[in-house]
Amino acid sequence: MKLKDRVAIVTGGASGIGAASARLFAAEGAKLALVDQDNVGLGQVAADIEAAGGSAIIIPADVSSDAEARAGVDRVIEKWGRVDVLLTAAGMSTGGTVDTIEEAAWDRTFAVNVKGTYLWIHYAIKSMIENPRAPSSPSARSSRSRARARMRRTSPPRAPSPRSPRPWPSITPPRASASTR
């Protein structure tokens, strides 16, 4: 169980990617705080998690509300003492194109998709930093080392600074000089 006894908040937890992720996190042993405005969906996902032997609380909230984000994170910390995982899966789309969408619809979409993500991270991150729960088993440490080594091997070369010579040959042909025209 990769997330045994971890505390996870999932915004957008009533449906879609949020609900699927919450169920997966619970199957891996996490305690879940499900956040959404859809009370029926929240109740169903929480019931599914608990029926499978997991633990979940529901937090009906507008993710774009500062007060509701703060209260939601506080409730999780009150219940379980910390936050280990945060998945901000809440999102919406009003459809349409730039020339047809009304400003109020755009503002609401931006508030949920961007501001909501910011607010939940803003209030949860302090607990996540103060209570790190990195895996400590030798196999977890070695897999982290392997992952870091793999990232170093597969990272693309960095672009040269304008003041340094190119570390790789140019793939664009040189311009013709005035003498070759």
Given its phi and psi angles, is residue 42 left (phi above 0), alpha (psi -120 to 50 degrees) or beta?
Answer: alpha
What is the pLDDT at residue 32?
Answer: 98
What is the pLDDT at residue 148?
Answer: 56
What is the pLDDT at residue 140?
Answer: 43
Per domain, the residue ranges of the chain are: 7-102
What is the pLDDT at residue 133?
Answer: 72
- Say how far apart CA 31 and CA 27 lie, in whole Å: 10
pLDDT beneath 50, residues of the chain: 135-144, 164, 168-170, 172
Q: Among 3.20.20.220, 1.20.1080.10, 3.40.50.720, 3.90.960.10, name the CATH number for the domain at 7-102.
A: 3.40.50.720
Q: Is 28 exposed, middle or buried (0-12, 13-18, 19+ CB in 10 A)?
A: middle
